Amino acid sequence: MLILKRMFPVIALVVPLIIVVFVIDQFGTGNMQRVSTEALVRLVFAVGLYMFVGNSGILSFGHMTFCAVAAYASAWQTCCSMMKPTIMSGLPAFVRDNTFPLIPSALTSVGLAGAVALVSGLVLMRLSFFSASISTLALLVIMNVVFANWTTVTMGNSTIVGLPVYVTIWGALAATVVVIVLAYLFQNSRWGLMLRATREEEVAAQASGVSLYWSRFIAFTLSGFVAGLAGVLFAHFMGTVSLSNFFLNHTFIIVAMLVIGGMHSLAGVVVGVALISAVTEVLRQAEAGYSIGGLSFAVPPGTQELVLAVTMLLILIFRKDGIMGGKEFRWPWPARSDRLAIEERKVASVQRSS
Amino acid sequence: MALASSVAPAQEAEPIKIGFATALSGWLAAYDQEPHQAAILKIEEINKAGGLLGRKIEYQVTDTKTDLTLTANVAASLIDWGANMLVVPPDFDYGAPAAFMAQNANLIAISTGASDPKMGVQGVGSNVFSAHSAGQAAGIVMAEYAHDKMNAKTAFMLEDVSLEAHKSSCAGFVAGWENKGGELVGRDSFRMEDTSIAAQITRIKGLASEPDIIFLCSGLPQGASAVRQVRAAGIDTPILAEAGMSGDYWLGGVPNLKDFYVPTLMSISDDPRPEVNKFIEAYKARWGALPTTEFSILGYCTIEQWAAAVEQAQSVETEVVLAVMNQFEDQPTTCGPTSYSDQIHIQVSRPQLIARVENGSFRSVEIFRNQFVPDLKLLLRSSN
């Protein structure tokens, strides 16, 4: 019971996800399954991003870097054995001339992404709040320029086609559940709590003996690994890897999802990604046109982007902490003592604000 | 869908289904919308003439929004719908995700206008074709044209390295030019983001002697800006460009442009070929306006060649149709003779219409066919 209660915020996220996936798997169209799989992969990335952003309060624009590194690393190992020696001639001979099994190559790819996060984190996390945030954008630009021009290894701006497609909706769900649990355990761990303390009040946290550098560095590295996992999943969901998938567009869409859901809680991330993914897809279908009882109607093209932008504005104006307001889903039946505690907290907050 | 077709009367043959994963919005729409409309025109013509193998052609089109992930999803749902073949966007990077889906579902996919030969056997899979000419072929045609018809001996090459397509044209030009024994006196590159190419122009002006021609592989709008800057710097050398620079709409930006040549698929105003003019008339009648880009005709030929293969194979089964298409040798289409092999799924020596700018618009000069045929190594640019 205690475990159930302690893990309730996770269960409240995971169980609905499983139910939704089950329903889609049973009754959904092929398109719905693909869209949901894509959304789950996006969720893995968003949770990875949240592990750093949500806990540290430092917005990162650079996590697509790790996603790209892992996706390319997996492509190098598993893609197109026939074409690889010609189109990616710059790879080291043992990678160029061999094709590696899927699971080991997924693991090494995630490892490489984590290693890149670790090395860049060593430097970037020394920077203060806003500088760290902008420096992650610099990291993304560096990756993009290097990959775009390193044509013998990355095929430049061209698309790498022919990765084995093995990510199903259930595979994506399993990965999502694992990272949600991981993220929850991390945010309640000693390091997670220390990092959250720095988010709320840097000076006070430092005065209490928390190292800004190490707490941020650990979260950054860990989230780099998870972003890498998302990269591998994405590559093997699409079967293609293209640099333009790992740049500003996708970064901003995911940041928008975090903002809308509320980036200070795990529940906010899940709700944000699920909601925006669903709304986007419904509107896309509406743009393509629905037909109901022989009548077909369509909304004008561009509605999807417009609705997304307006939603974000409304959220920013009226609920600046996002839909979830930085809260997790709580155990709905608090014990007496808990209830008292909540009352006390309410009273305290009223006093503070008055 | 399966249910709907099984309750249809048995004597009425099941329709043949063509799925269009088409960019109707986003930047690619400018290149995809008209070929798509031309393809629909061809489908309607076939249906009017009694269908294909006596069966009507049905089509479904879904917008890819020029988004890579969405492109793959769109292709997947068209396959679920029961498409017999897919028409995919006219660009390797944005078409490949859809073509790869078709390949995995063992369907034929034809990209209306990808000029990258990777849109084919080696890059995506053995079921994937492009109806267009390889980017390299555009470079070769212009190299041979400059040498044979313009008597050029020396060339300077200005390469836009922001897109693979442009790099391919330049690679083709170099190969074709060297094959003819021309001298490449210099080359330089620029990127789409570069608003000024002053440094590159300085290099052209610094050459010991003025080159006979400048070959420019670039697209719009950056190519137009480059031409304008070159001419503004007082360089009047003839410029030969690739197909990406055709279309009259940008010429207003470079007033009094002269000696500017492009290889094109067709001319909308003065094409010497009657079948092309017939297509343009039919397009205008169906869509109420003339096509604005030459690429439109590729959509028409996409359906035309697939229908011809189906007709010959007497089947829509992928293996049979594929075998026929791989045997195409100068198969007549409205776009010109079309050839494929089991290795090369793009045109490498289709005659192209050379057009020259005169009084603010492109005028047809002549049809020109390249002799030098690029090999796979050049097509895949594996030497780079």
**Cβ atoms B142, B136 nearer than 8 A:** no
Same domain, B114 and B198: no
Task: Please tell me the predicted confidence (pLDDT) of residue A353.
Answer: 58
> Do A161 and B123 lie within an 8 Å CB cutoff?
yes
* CATH assignment of the domain containing B296: 3.40.50.2300
User: Can you name the residues that pair with B17 across neighbouring β-strands?
Assistant: B58
**Is B298 within 8 Å of B261 (Cβ atoms)?**
no
Q: Chain A residue with minimal CA distance to B1? A: A29
Q: Are residues B369 and B277 in the same domain?
A: no
Per-residue pLDDT, B6:
42
Residue B123 sits in the same domain as residue B243: no
Domain count within chain A: 1
Q: Is residue B338 assigned to a domain?
A: no
**Whether A164 contacts chain B with CB within 8 A:** no
Contacts of residue B7, defined as CB under 8 A and 6 or more positions apart, other chains included, come to: none
Residue B209 has pLDDT above 50, yes or no: yes
User: Model confidence at B128, in pLDDT bands (50, 70, 90)?
Assistant: very high
A283-326 residue pLDDT tens:
888 877 766 666 667 788 778 888 888 988 898 899 888 888 88
Say yes or no: A81 contacts chain B, CB-CB below 8 A: no
Q: How does pLDDT run across B78-124, given as a tens digit for each residue? A: 998 999 999 999 988 899 999 999 999 999 999 998 988 889 998 89
Q: Which residues contact B332 (CB under 8 A, 6 or more apart)?
A: B338
Token readout for A269 is 């991330």
Beta strands at B352-358 and B361-368: parallel, antiparallel or unpaired: antiparallel
What is the structure's pLDDT at B1? 39
Confirm or reject contact between A284 and chain B (CB < 8 A).
yes
**Does the pLDDT at position A335 exceed 70?**
no
User: Tell me: the pLDDT tens digits for A219-268?
Assistant: 999 999 999 999 999 999 999 999 988 998 889 889 889 988 998 999 99
Any domain includes B114: yes
What average pLDDT does range B12-17 have in this prediction? 85
Query: Would you state the pLDDT for residue B10?
Result: 41
Burial B300-335 (b: 16+ CB within 10 A, else e): bbbbbbbbbbbebbeebebeebbebbbebeebebbb
Lowest mean pLDDT, pick from A337-351, B48-62, B66-80: A337-351
A99 compared with B40, residue with greater pLDDT:
B40
Give the tens place of pLDDT for each residue, B131-187: 999 999 999 999 999 999 999 999 999 999 887 788 889 999 999 999 999 999 999
What does the pLDDT read at residue A352? 60
Residue A100 lies in a domain: yes
Token pair in block for residue B278: 């017939």
Other C-beta atoms lying within 10 Å of the C-beta of residue B251: 19
* Contact call for A240 and B100, based on CB within 8 A: yes
B87: tokens are 């028409």
Q: In this model, does residue B7 exceed pLDDT 50?
A: no
In this complex, is the C-beta atom of B121 within 8 Å of any C-beta atom belonging to chain A?
Answer: no
For residue A240, the chain B residues in CB contact (below 8 A) are 68, 72, 96-97, 100
3-state secondary structure of B55: strand
Can you give the pLDDT at residue B294?
87
In sign, the C-alpha dihedral spanning A283, A287, A289, A292 is positive
Q: Residue A40 falls within a domain, yes or no?
A: yes
CB–CB of B73 and A38 under 8 A? yes
Asked if residue B250 and residue B150 are part of one domain, the reply reads: yes
Taking the alpha carbons at both ends of chain A, their separation in whole angstroms is 38
Reported confidence tier of residue A337, pLDDT bands at 50, 70, 90: low
pLDDT of residue A354: 53
Query: Are B81 and B67 in the same domain?
Result: yes
Predicted local confidence at residue A179, as pLDDT: 96
∠ Cα A43 A261 B64 (to 5°):
55
Q: Are residues B171 and B290 in the same domain?
A: no
Among the residues of chain A, which ranges form H helices? 2-6, 8-27, 30-56, 64-78, 84-87, 93-96, 102-124, 129-149, 151-154, 169-187, 190-200, 202-207, 212-238, 248-261, 266-288, 303-318, 336-353
Do B166 and B248 lie in one domain? The reply is: yes
Q: In which band, very low, low, confident or very high, does the pLDDT at B336 lie, cut at 50, 70 and 90?
A: very high
In this structure, is residue A295 part of a structural domain? no
Mutate to test the interface with A, among B27, B33, B69 (most CBs of A within 10 A): B69
Asked whether residue B342 carries a pLDDT value surpassing 80, the answer given is yes
For residue B246, the model assigns a pLDDT of 83
Asked if B175 and B306 sit in the same domain, the reply is no
Cβ-Cβ contacts under 8 Å, B70 against chain A: 284
Q: Is the pLDDT of residue B348 over 90?
A: yes
Least confident piece of the model among A51-65, A115-129, A244-258, A338-352? A338-352
Q: Do B97 and A240 touch (CB under 8 A)?
A: yes
Does residue A325 belong to any structural domain of this protein?
A: no
* pLDDT tops 90 at residue B285: yes
| A342 Cβ contact partners less than 8 Å away, ≥ 6 residues apart | A334
Phi, psi of A58 (to 5 degrees): -90, 120
**Nearest chain B CA: its distance from A304 CA (Å):** 11
At A205, the pLDDT band (50, 70, 90 cuts) reads very high
Q: Which residue of B has its CA nearest to A31?
A: B77
Q: Would an 8 Å CB–CB cutoff place B184 in contact with chain A?
A: no
| Inside any domain, residue A274 | no
**Are both B144 and B256 inside the same structural domain?**
yes
Same domain, residue pair B190 and B224: yes
Domain shared by B260 and B277, yes or no: no
Range in A350-354, B232-236, B363-367 the model is least confident about: A350-354
Are B120 and B140 within one domain?
Answer: no
Percent over 90 (pLDDT), chain B: 73
The residue range of the domain holding B50 is 2-132+273-326
Q: B164: nearest CA in chain A?
A: A158
Residue B2 has pLDDT above 60, yes or no: no
Q: Is residue A95 part of a domain?
A: yes
Q: Where does the pLDDT of residue A87 fall: very low under 50, low under 70, confident under 90, or very high at 90 and above?
A: confident
3 state SS of B275: helix
- Containing structural domain, residue A100: 2-260
Q: Is A306 contained in some domain?
A: no
Q: Is residue A282 part of a domain?
A: no
With cut-offs at 50, 70 and 90, classify the pLDDT of residue A342: low
Q: How many domains does chain B have?
A: 2
Contact A159 B96 (CB under 8 A): yes
Q: A303 — contact with chain B (CB < 8 Å)?
A: no
Dihedral in degrees, nearest 10, Cα atoms B20, B25, B26, B31: 60
Nearest Cβ partner of B100 from A82, A158, A239?
A239
Minimum Cα–Cα distance from B77: chain A residue: A31
Indicate yes or no: CB of A34 within 8 angstroms of CB of B104. Answer: no
